[in-house]
Structure 1
Amino acid sequence: MHRTLNLIGVALIVAGFLCIFISENWTWKGPKVDGGDKNWEASAIHSLVGLLCIILAWIQSLVTFVRPSPSSAIRRLFNWVHRSTGVVAFILAGL
């Protein structure tokens, strides 16, 4: 159930991401190369943090497909990375 809800969440994130780009006429409002002071405006930082949240959510869902078995030596590392990625994405989404 956890994996299913996570994948549904990612699908909704993608849908929201597309809606934002459609409403903004497919233009990126975040930081740009040679953007100067505009890169530090609230809207640019908000866009960058939002993109980072989306990337973390995708990573969070993708790593579940390579989850090691419970008896694996690296299962503790997987659990730590999976949990940390989710917590960081959740915190950034609340900003």
Structure 2
Amino acid sequence: MSRTVVCRKYQQELEGLSQPPFPGPAGEDIFNHVSAQAWQEWTEHQTRLINEKHLNMMDKEARKYLTEQRGKFLSGDDFDKADGYVPEKPEN
């Protein structure tokens, strides 16, 4: 049986991550309170933010910005969208 958590973003019990996404207290918090679905959605959104906003991950301010956006996204708060991003239409 897979591990479940009460997801902070979706406020319901969902499948959890198999391990913390990164070391430290923030990774442990995500492991204990964020579903695998919400984490997958965040990683996709993070990639869009990096690409569309041309973020340099060597820049401390860019990393700080993404950390703030991750917190907002995973808590269900308002978060920044990628400028110019248009979701792909599913093929029928």
TM-score by length of 1: 0.29
Query: Normalized per residue, which structure has more helix?
Result: 1
Radius of gyration: which is bigger? 1
- Which protein has the bigger strand share? 2
